[in-house]
């Protein structure tokens, strides 16, 4: 066994860490947070130039990575720095969707989108979840109705991250079957200004923006379909698996920062005439945070290392990792705030942002309880 990163990944990690340390100051991030797009277009371009987006996608699609460990390496660094740019939504979710499952060849149009994405010239958003889907991947009610040469989309999408900034939306809709069925799902490329499409945007508590979406007989040509008709479930599940590895690694990176900030603080903050880190009540709690951090790191390694496995094996490891990170993440975020005292609660202190990233990551693709249920189901299967 070898738990070392390959040389290429080590180089990517080093250069990304250096770039973020030099360029992604708290001030730069705060600037990005107030940008109307919810991120900094400048940083986005620089991340693309560094090769970050390409590293998330396979060579067959023009990228230079795309394996679980590539994704985890990049996202651990993004998480460590608390990056708010929509790498997860634009690059992983939509990028991996466009790359497809391997059996479905990539159409020339999709390949062009991937190329532009890797170059940093394209923003995308995945309109997937709906008011009643909670975290279920195939609970899709939005209907795609065949009308001769056209398709009509009708339905609602909720909390579509990066929707307002996206040049194009990838919309999941149902051509047949009922909510929860794996069959009958398709993906469509939709322009954000398509007639019948309405969006209401909002900032997100941990950075970035999202929108509620209504599709009222949005008319598309059949060529807007991505991949084969009614067969998108595999693609969606495979994509979300990659996104969950990314999110787990990002949260791990953020947890590292939270623990580091806490340790720094405990050695400097003086109360009762001594550093508060000399109180054993706090020392033991830091020790517990450190133990959990190691567990979280192992969980991410398990998930990343199984991303290319058969779906059943893959998803079981991912559910396990996300459950563990959900639990330990909450614990570390809450402890980090508590051990800091009031200062941690202020918007301008780094930990406030990091803690929000950690806790709210649980609300994407399934919280710890949902992942626990998935793990049980997959174990029984």
Partner 1 sequence: MDLNYSTEELAFRAEVRAFLEAKLPQDLLDAVRLGRGIGKEGHDRWHQILNDQGWLAPTWPQQYGGCGWNAVQRHIFEEECCRAHAPRIVPFGLTMLAPVLQKFGSDAQRAYFLPKILSGEHWWCQGYSEPGAGSDLASLSTRAVRDGDHYIVNGQKTWTTLGQFANWIFCLVRTDPQAKQQEGISFLLIDMATPGIEVRPIILLDGTHEVNEVWFNDVRVPAENLVGEENKGWTYAKYLLTHERTNIAGVGFSQAGLEAVKRLARHQLHRGRPLIENPHFAARLARAEIDLMAMSTTNLRIISAAAQGQAPGVESSMLKVKGTEIRQEINDLARRAAGVYALPFASEAVAGDNNALSSPEGSEAVAAQYFNNRKLSIFGGSNEIQKNIIAKVSLGGRT
Ligand X SMILES: Cc1cc2nc3c(=O)[nH]c(=O)nc-3n(C[C@H](O)[C@H](O)[C@H](O)COP(=O)(O)OP(=O)(O)OC[C@H]3O[C@@H](n4cnc5c(N)ncnc54)[C@H](O)[C@@H]3O)c2cc1C
User: Using CB under 8 A as the criterion, which residues of the chain lie in contact with partner 1 when the complex forms?
Assistant: 129, 131-132, 134-136, 139, 158-159, 161, 179-180, 200-206, 210, 212, 270-273, 279, 281-282, 330, 334, 337-338, 341-342, 344-348, 352-353, 355-356, 359-360, 363-364, 367, 369, 372-373
Give residue 85's Cα distance to chain centre.
11
Per-residue interface string for the shown chain with ligand X, residues 341-360, x marking contact by CB under 6 A: xx--x---------------
Q: Which is nearer to ligand X, 234 or 350 (CB)?
A: 350
Q: Which is nearer to partner 1, 17 or 330 (CB)?
A: 330
Residue 271 binding ligand X, by CB under 6 A: yes
Q: Which is nearer to partner 1, 73 or 162 (CB)?
A: 162
Helix (H, G, I), strand (E, B) or coil at 107: coil
Which residues in 166-205 contact ligand X (CB under 6 A)?
Answer: none
Least distance to ligand X, CB of residue 261, Å: 13
Q: How far apart are CA 186 and CA 208, in angstroms?
A: 27
Least distance to partner 1, CB of residue 270, Å: 7
End-to-end CA distance of the chain: 29
Least distance to ligand X, CB of residue 281, Å: 4
Q: Which is nearer to ligand X, 268 or 295 (CB)?
A: 268
Least distance to partner 1, CB of residue 123, Å: 19
CB-closest chain residue to ligand X: 341
Which option in partner 1, ligand X, none does residue 359 bind, with CB closer than 5 to 8 A by kind? partner 1
**Residue 298 contacts by C-beta under 8 Å, 6 or more apart in sequence?**
none
292, exposed or middle or buried, with CB in 10 Å at 0-12, 13-18, 19+? buried
Instruction: Check if the beta carbon of residue 262 is closer than 8 Å to that of residue 340.
Output: yes
**Residue 45 contacts by C-beta under 8 Å, 6 or more apart in sequence?**
120
Least distance to ligand X, CB of residue 327, Å: 21
Q: How far apart are CA 181 and CA 95, in angstroms?
A: 24
Instruction: Check if the beta carbon of residue 201 is closer than 8 Å to that of residue 163.
Output: yes
Beta bridge partners of 274: 271
**Comparing C-alpha atoms, which of 301, 298, 208, 289 is closest to residue 256?**
289
- Give the range of 256-264, 317-325, 340-348, 372-380 binding ligand X by CB under 6 A: 340-348
Q: Which is nearer to partner 1, 69 or 365 (CB)?
A: 365
Exactly one of 4, 195, 272, 273 binds ligand X (CB under 6 A); which one?
272
Neighbours of 176 (CB within 10 A): 13
> DSSP labels for 354-374?
HHHHHHHHTTSS--HHHHHHH
Q: Is the torsion defined by CA of 9, 11, 14, 16 positive or negative?
A: negative
Least distance to ligand X, CB of residue 345, Å: 5
Q: Which is nearer to partner 1, 104 or 334 (CB)?
A: 334
Q: Which is nearer to ligand X, 313 or 343 (CB)?
A: 343
Q: How far apart are CA 304 and CA 311, in angstroms?
A: 13
Exactly one of 168, 194, 282, 352 binds ligand X (CB under 6 A); which one?
282
- Count of residues interacting with ligand X (CB under 6 A): 12
Residue 17 binding ligand X, by CB under 6 A: no
Q: Find tokens 């009031």 and name the residue.
A: 342
Q: Which is nearer to ligand X, 131 or 341 (CB)?
A: 341
Residue 108 binding ligand X, by CB under 6 A: no
Give residue 178's Cα distance to chain centre.
27
DSSP 8-state class, residue 344? G
Please give the backbone phi and psi of residue 215, each rounded to the nearest 5 degrees, phi first.
-115, 115
Which option in partner 1, ligand X, none does residue 134 bind, with CB closer than 5 to 8 A by kind? partner 1
Name the residues that contact ligand X, by CB under 6 A: 269, 271-272, 276, 279, 281-282, 338-339, 341-342, 345
């Amino acid at each position: 066994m070898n738990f070392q990163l390959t040389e290429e990944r080590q180089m990517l990690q080093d250069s990304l860490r250096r770039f973020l340390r030099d360029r992604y100051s708290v001030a730069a991030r705060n600037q990005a947070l107030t940008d109307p797009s919810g991120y900094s277009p400048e940083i986005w371009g620089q991340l693309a130039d560094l090769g970050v987006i390409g590293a998330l996608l396979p060579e067959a699609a023009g990228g230079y990575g795309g394996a679980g460990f590539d994704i985890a390496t990049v996202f651990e660094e993004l998480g460590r720095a608390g990056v708010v740019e929509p790498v997860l939504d634009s690059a992983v979710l939509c990028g991996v969707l466009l790359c497809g499952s391997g059996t479905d060849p990539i159409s020339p149009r999709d390949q062009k989108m991937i190329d532009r994405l890797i170059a940093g010239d394209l923003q995308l958003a995945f309109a997937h979840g709906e008011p009643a889907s909670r975290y279920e991947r195939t609970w899709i009610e939005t209907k795609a109705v065949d009308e001769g040469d056209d398709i009509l989309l009708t339905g609602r999408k909720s909390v579509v991250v990066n929707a307002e900034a996206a040049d194009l939306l990838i919309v999941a809709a149902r051509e047949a079957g009922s909510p929860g069925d794996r069959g009958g799902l398709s993906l469509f490329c939709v322009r954000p200004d398509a007639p019948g499409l309405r969006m209401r945007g909002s900032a997100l508590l941990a950075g970035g923006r999202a929108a509620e979406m209504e599709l009222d007989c949005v008319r598309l040509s059949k060529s807007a379909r991505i991949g084969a008709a009614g067969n998108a479930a595999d693609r969606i599940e495979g994509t979300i698996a990659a996104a969950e590895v990314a999110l787990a690694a990002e949260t791990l990176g953020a947890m590292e920062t939270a623990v580091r900030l806490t340790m720094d603080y405990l050695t400097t903050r003086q109360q009762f005439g001594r550093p508060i880190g000399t109180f054993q009540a706090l020392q033991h709690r830091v020790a517990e945070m450190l133990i959990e951090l190691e567990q979280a790191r192992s969980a991410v390694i398990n998930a990343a290392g199984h991303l290319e496995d058969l779906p059943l094996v893959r998803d079981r490891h991912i559910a396990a990792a996300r459950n563990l990170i959900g639990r330990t993440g909450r614990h570390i975020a809450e402890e980090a705030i508590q051990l800091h005292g009031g200062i941690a609660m202020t918007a301008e202190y780094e930990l406030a942002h990091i803690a929000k990233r950690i806790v709210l990551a649980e609300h994407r693709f399934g919280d710890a309880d949902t992942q626990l249920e998935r793990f049980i189901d997959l174990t029984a299967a």
